[in-house]
Amino acid sequence: MMRLDRFLCEVHMGSRSQVKEWIKKGMVQADGLTVLKPEYKVDEENTQITFRGRLLSFSKFAYYVLNKPAGMVTSNRDPRSPVVMELLKDVPQKNLFPVGRLDKDAEGLLLITNDGELAHRLLAPKSHVPKTYFLRLKEAFTKGQEKRLSEGVDIGEKKLCLPAETKLISEQEIFITVWEGKFHQVKRMMKAAGNEVLFLKRVAFGSLALDETLASGAYRPLTDEEINQLKKDADYDVGK
């Protein structure tokens, strides 16, 4: 059970003070009856809450996409550096965490959720979820480097890397897509291929692409369609 005003905040209707106003104005119904008290207790799984006649559904999971700026550690806490989770101060949900890591100097798409099972499946090596990065390189990207990456380079792990796909943008700028997520994966792959990464930005994670309109440091909730698509990417049974 939870307070009605909290329920409305958790389904992203508005701030606590806004939703209290709306409740007092009689805009919210619980099981068909108008409730005027923000502290009224509702069963978030079973009470039918409507706002101006629109049914609101509660999900205990939240999903956000964040455009990570350089200089922040991908973590909930760090004793020495600012962390990405500081950027999500205004969200109501607890226990959110970043799915996978981007290096401190890296930028771009980070998925943030509290859905541990989806995160686990997206990151599981056997899911082979593709990740695409924009790279600025120290040297011109050569055909030989492209070939080595497409065959699977040796970065000192037990097995060779899975083949990576590259797309040339300019002499020293490429997109690279990888199907794994080892520590410093892309930087190590480029080194093994004979080049060096100067700048790295993740632009896609599975079916989710970084929208150009999301400023550095900004975030937004995922749409239901994006969430379902990510569940499919992770070979997740959406029907469950």
| Residue reference for tokens 């992203």 | 12
| DSSP annotation string for 28-58 | EEETTEE---TT-EE-TTTS-EEETTEEE--
Determine, following the binding rule CB under 6 A, whether residue 184 of this chain makes contact with ligand URA. yes
CB 105 to ligand URA: min, Å: 8
Which helix (H) or strand (E) covers residue 101, if one does? none
Encoded one letter per residue, x for contact with ligand URA by CB under 6 A and - for no contact, window 87-116 reads ---------------xx--x----------
Q: Is 173 in the site for ligand URA (CB under 6 A)?
A: no
Residues 194-223 that bind ligand URA (CB under 6 A): 200
For residue 72, state whether it binds ligand URA (rule: CB under 6 A).
no
Identity of the residue, 3 or 101, whose beta carbon is nearer to ligand URA in the bound complex = 101
**Residue nearer to ligand URA on the CB measure, 62 or 192:** 192
The reply on whether position 24 binds ligand URA by CB under 6 A is: no
Partners of 47 in beta bridges: none
Q: Does 149 bind ligand URA (CB under 6 A)?
A: no
- Token readout for 137 is 């390189």
CB of 102 to ligand URA, least distance (A): 4
Nearer to ligand URA, 34 or 150 (CB): 150
Q: Where are the beta strands (DSSP E) in 23-127?
A: 28-30, 33-34, 41-42, 49-51, 54-56, 63-68, 97-99, 107-113
For 183, counting Cβ atoms within 10 Å of its Cβ (0-12 exposed, 13-18 middle, 19+ buried), the class is exposed
Catalytic residue list: 103
Report, in Å, the least distance between residue 185 CB and ligand URA. 4
| 66 φ/ψ angles, rounded to the nearest 5 degrees | -120, 140
Residue numbers at the binding site for ligand URA (CB under 6 A): 102-103, 106, 184-187, 200
